[in-house]
């Protein structure tokens, strides 16, 4: 039997530190919550909802892109690996019905949303602007070497 000094955690127990609240950058994505009709290079709907605790925003995707139906889910928030503090960037991982996994970095500045494919500053990105009433987001996906497409989301 091991002895534990007063106010000391036994070796087989880990104290639970009170987590920091969700970051301001993650909270700012609240304006995405809801269901949106997507038009442009991809057509269909996406729905955003908070996980309990509001540390992570979930996106549910049901689109047709390049003539193919695709469904997916994306988890968006600050990474916080085991035993480490939360990272600064708002990261995501997207999983789709074709077996793809894509990583993104989100940044919302004022009414402009930028989503980089892979790392922040990547040559693959979406840049869009929210309307004054917040019920639409219009922009363009840009791909390296040319390509991409216009995309508009309208709240439904």
Enter the tokens of residue 142. Answer: 């840009």
Q: Are 71 and 58 in contact (CB under 8 A)?
A: no
Q: How far is residue 91's CA from residue 147's CA, in Å, rounded to a whole number? A: 24
Tell me the per-residue pLDDT of 48-64, one tens digit each, with 9 for 90 and over: 999 999 999 999 999 99
- For the chain, the structural domain boundaries read 24-155
Q: What is the dihedral of CA 109, 112, 117, 123, to 10 degrees?
A: -100
Tell me the per-residue pLDDT of 79-132, one tens digit each, with 9 for 90 and over: 999 989 899 999 999 999 999 999 999 999 999 999 999 999 999 999 999 999
Tell me the per-residue pLDDT of 11-38, one tens digit each, with 9 for 90 and over: 444 445 677 899 999 999 999 999 999 9
Model's pTM, two decimal places? 0.86
DSSP string, 74-120: EEEEE---TTSPPPSSEEEEEEETTS-EEEEEEEEETTEEEEEESST
2 pLDDT higher than 50: no
Domain 24-155: homologous superfamily in CATH: Calycin beta-barrel core domain (2.40.128.20)
């Amino acid at each position: 039997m091991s002895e534990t000094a007063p106010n000391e955690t036994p070796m087989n127990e880990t104290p639970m530190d009170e987590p920091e609240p969700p970051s301001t950058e993650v909270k700012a994505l609240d304006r995405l919550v809801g269901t949106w009709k997507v038009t442009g290079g991809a057509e269909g709907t996406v729905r955003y909802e908070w996980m309990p605790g509001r540390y992570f925003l979930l996106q549910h995707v049901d689109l047709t892109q390049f003539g193919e139906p695709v469904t997916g889910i994306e988890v968006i928030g600050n990474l916080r690996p085991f035993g480490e503090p939360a990272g600064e960037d708002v990261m995501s991982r997207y999983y789709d019905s074709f077996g793809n996994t894509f990583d993104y970095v989100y940044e919302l500045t004022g009414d402009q949303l930028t989503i980089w494919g892979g790392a922040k500053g990547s040559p693959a990105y979406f840049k869009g602007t929210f309307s004054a009433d917040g019920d639409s987001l219009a922009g363009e996906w840009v791909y390296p070497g040319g390509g991409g497409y216009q995309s508009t989301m309208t709240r439904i």
